[in-house]
């Protein structure tokens, strides 16, 4: 083969990887810990179940923690690292300040349960524990169960500056969403499926207040919002409301991981603009309509999407390690 062709092809591949730094991941596999901690999934599931019994907030908090982790430097548990005097970590970036403490606590408690088994101590990464815990909270809240690919190492860096521009904003349109997800190797279908995680959890009023009071000069209230739903939100989130006040993301079944999210979008009851746009934009509307009536189609797509999400930016070898404490570097 011509050497110039080989060089050109190599440069093309390198350029592609530079444009999409998180689409190439290490090889993960199921039952990765079979020889060192064979019962790890049961241990994690039991610990997560105890946490969810204590508070249902842990469900959405854990799912959101996984998403915020994977979209910034890949799925390496770097979002769990605590800041120090010399380093402002990812979790203290403004986009991460609303991450609920119960998500972090779910991982920390599962890690403690795993390390309580002598043969498992310091053998299972925090990144993998977060991936398993995410699957478990989804299943415990009525969503699909699925096999989790394992073998991630924990990241060795966590900087607040790395978060900037990596997470979707509540007002994003479909093009902005597709661009951000594509940069992580995820399709529009994957994006719509993962957005359904908004079927559980809460949001602070400030994240969507512009849709209620100052959407535009012509329409102070976003016209894509159902009028009754808008009035309900205004009663829950009046102007100058206490910034700590929250409302449920899903007004119908806020504690159940189900396809109600898509039915809500059909009725103009998407809480964020980025939710409602999935129905108002004709490019994604057919997917919403399909999944609003087919649980099996939605769950199949969701499992595929969250599995792909879990492959983003995986660390191996010297690029990572297994933390003794999920919140601090070794």
Whether residue 136 is annotated as binding a ligand: the answer is: no
CA atoms of 313 and 308, how far apart (whole Å):
11
- Least Cα distance to 146 among 45, 287, 255 occurs for 45
The distance between the two most distant Cα atoms of the chain, rounded to a whole number of Å, is 70
CB 109 within 8 A of CB 126: no
Sign of CA dihedral 86, 91, 95, 97: negative
Q: Which of left, alpha, beta for 309 (phi over 0: left; psi -120 to 50: alpha)? A: alpha
Q: Is 69 annotated as a binding residue?
A: yes
What are 288-297's pLDDT values in tens digits? Answer: 999 999 999 9
Q: How far apart are CA 301 and CA 261, in angstroms?
A: 14
The answer to whether 90 is annotated as binding is yes
What does the pLDDT look like over 200-234, one tens digit per residue?
A: 999 999 999 999 999 999 999 999 999 999 999 99
Give tens-digit pLDDT for 122-176.
999 999 999 999 999 999 999 999 999 999 999 999 999 999 999 999 999 999 9
Catalytic residue among 68, 259, 269, 323, which?
68
Nearest Cα to 105, choosing from 53, 152, 62, 158?
Answer: 62
* 141 is known to lie in a ligand binding site: no
What pLDDT is recorded for position 1?
A: 47
Q: What is the pLDDT of residue 243?
A: 85
Annotated catalytic, 93? no
**pLDDT higher than 60, residue 12:** no
Rounded CA separation 74/87 (Å): 19
Residue 190 among known ligand-binding residues? no
Expressed in angstroms, the distance from the first to the final Cα of the chain is 47
> What per-residue confidence (pLDDT) applies to 17?
42
Residue 59 has pLDDT above 70, yes or no: yes
Six token digits for residue 40:
């790890």
Cα 317 from Cα 41, distance rounded (Å): 23
250 is known to lie in a ligand binding site:
yes
- Model pLDDT for residues 172-198, shown as the tens digit of each residue: 999 999 999 999 999 999 999 999 999
Q: How far is C-alpha 79 from the geometric centre of its chain's CA atoms? A: 12
pLDDT digits (tens, 9 = 90+) for 266-323: 999 999 999 999 999 999 999 999 999 999 999 999 999 999 999 999 998 888 999 9
């Amino acid at each position: 083969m011509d050497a110039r062709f080989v060089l050109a092809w190599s440069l093309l591949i390198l350029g592609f990887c530079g444009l999409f730094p998180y689409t190439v991941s290490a090889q993960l596999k199921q039952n990765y810990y079979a020889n060192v901690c064979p019962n790890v999934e049961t241990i994690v599931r039991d610990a997560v179940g105890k946490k969810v019994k204590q508070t249902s907030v842990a469900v959405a908090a854990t799912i959101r923690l996984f998403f915020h982790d994977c979209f910034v430097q890949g799925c390496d548990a770097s979002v769990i690292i605590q800041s120090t005097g010399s380093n402002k970590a990812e979790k203290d970036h403004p986009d991460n300040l609303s991450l609920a403490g119960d998500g972090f606590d779910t991982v920390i408690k599962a890690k403690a349960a795993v390390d309580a088994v002598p043969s498992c101590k310091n053998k299972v990464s925090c990144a993998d524990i977060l991936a398993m815990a995410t699957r478990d909270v989804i299943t415990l809240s009525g969503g699909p169960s699925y096999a989790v690919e394992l073998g991630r190492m924990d990241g060795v860096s966590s900087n607040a500056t790395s978060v900037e521009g990596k997470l979707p904003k509540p007002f994003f349109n479909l093009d902005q969403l597709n661009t951000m997800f594509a940069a992580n190797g995820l399709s529009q279908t994957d994006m719509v499926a993962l957005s359904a995680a908004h079927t559980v959890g809460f949001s602070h009023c400030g994240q969507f207040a512009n849709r209620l009071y100052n959407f535009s000069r012509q329409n102070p209230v976003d016209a894509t919002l159902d009028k009754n739903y808008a009035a309900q939100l205004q009663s829950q989130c009046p102007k100058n409301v206490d910034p700590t006040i929250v409302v449920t993301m899903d007004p119908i079944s806020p504690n159940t991981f189900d396809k109600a999210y898509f039915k809500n979008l059909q009725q103009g009851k998407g809480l964020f603009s980025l939710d409602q746009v999935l129905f108002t934009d004709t490019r994604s509307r057919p997917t919403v309509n399909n999944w609003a009536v087919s649980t099996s189609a939605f769950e199949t797509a969701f499992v595929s999407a969250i599995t792909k999400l879990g492959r983003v930016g995986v660390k191996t070898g010297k690029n990572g390690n297994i933390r003794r404490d999920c919140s601090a570097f070794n």
